[in-house]
Amino acid sequence: MRRIIIDTDTASDDAVAIIMAMRSPLFKVEAITVVAGNIPIDLACKNALISVEKSNTYHAPVYKGASKPIDRKLHTAEFAHGLNGMGDIELTEPKQKLEDKHAVDAIIELVAKYPYEIELVAIGPLTNVALAIKQNPNVMKKLKGIFVMGGNGLVEGNITPYAEFNYYVDGLAAKIVSNFNITITQLPWHTCLEGVYVRDNDVTRISELNELGKWVVDINSSLIKYSNENHNINGFVVCDAGIIALMIDPSIGTKYVEASSDIVIDNEEHYGEQVTVDGKTNYNVCTNMSYERFVDLLIELLE
């Protein structure tokens, strides 16, 4: 069984990713570490706790992390996910409580406890991961792997013409992680537009599947509305679930490209942009996915 840490700014697509990981027999989720991004940190923590409980599998500890980027103000995305990050549906208070330890300390301690076993999947801004690297690089070198949903993947962005949201929120963190000498398996925004875009008919399939399926669709109601109005999409793009799918079965990604990338932080117009540079390969970028296989896996894990 693979030991993973999920680092998340828990809004609606993060919740789906957490549920998929918690319900996969391949993984033991050793920790869920929370970062501010889509929504402020306290809301993101609450949503992470709720997502663990909705998974209805086992206890995964949840740790509160960075409440803002390393060196700039926080940009959030309630415009896409709703004010509570979960489609503004009414949410029950979670019974599970946050752990006392800071998320950054939890990451470092788990990597030290399980050297070369921990796979870290980051589905929000990379602030917690970067802070762990800065605090204890020698331990963090013992990660088995880093998986990231984020970055423009060398094409256009979504929050600006150049940058993807997670990298834009904390470009310095993305730069630190990108230059850490561990190759990142990346699912960029552009790939998600086709690969993890849940079409109308599949939204209905998921909603009618069971109570959990209906909840997954309900929490993404704001995202469905936003996707329709801004991207002419009838359905929703569940980006963060996509990187979990690639971890479960890398062949769902039908094309990968090795890249040497850095992140722009010294130009506000291009801040957070992932650009090609000379040097060692540090990214394995998924540029195409099989949507059919993704949605089949999603439904299988929700059943």
Which residues, listed in sequence order, are joined to residue 289 by a DSSP beta bridge?
Answer: 253
Residue 253 has a pLDDT of: 98
**C-alpha to C-alpha distances, 73 to 24, 153, 194, 288, 300, nearest whole angstrom:** 36, 24, 31, 33, 40
* pLDDT range class, residue 153, cuts 50, 70, 90: confident
Residue 229 pLDDT level (bands cut at 50, 70, 90): confident
Helix (H) or strand (E) holding 288: strand 283-289
pLDDT tens per residue, range 72-92: 999 999 988 999 999 999 999
The architecture that CATH gives domain 2-302 is: Alpha-Beta Complex (3.90)
Contact between 29 and 123 (Cβ < 8 Å): no
How high is the pLDDT of residue 193? 85
pLDDT at 170 over 90: yes
* Residue 182 near residue 143 (C-beta atoms within 8 A): yes
Percent of the chain with pLDDT over 90: 87
pLDDT tens for 278-290 read 888 999 999 999 9
State yes or no: pLDDT of 156 exceeds 80: no
pLDDT of residue 64: 99
| Span 182-225, pLDDT tens digits | 999 999 999 998 889 899 899 999 999 999 999 999 999 998 99
**Tokens representing residue 302 in the block:** 């929700």
Q: Is the pLDDT of residue 154 over 80?
A: no
- If you average pLDDT over residues 88-101, what whole number do you get? 96
Does the structure show a pLDDT above 80 at 255? Answer: yes
Measured between alpha carbons, how far is 170 from 137 in angstroms, rounded to an integer? 19
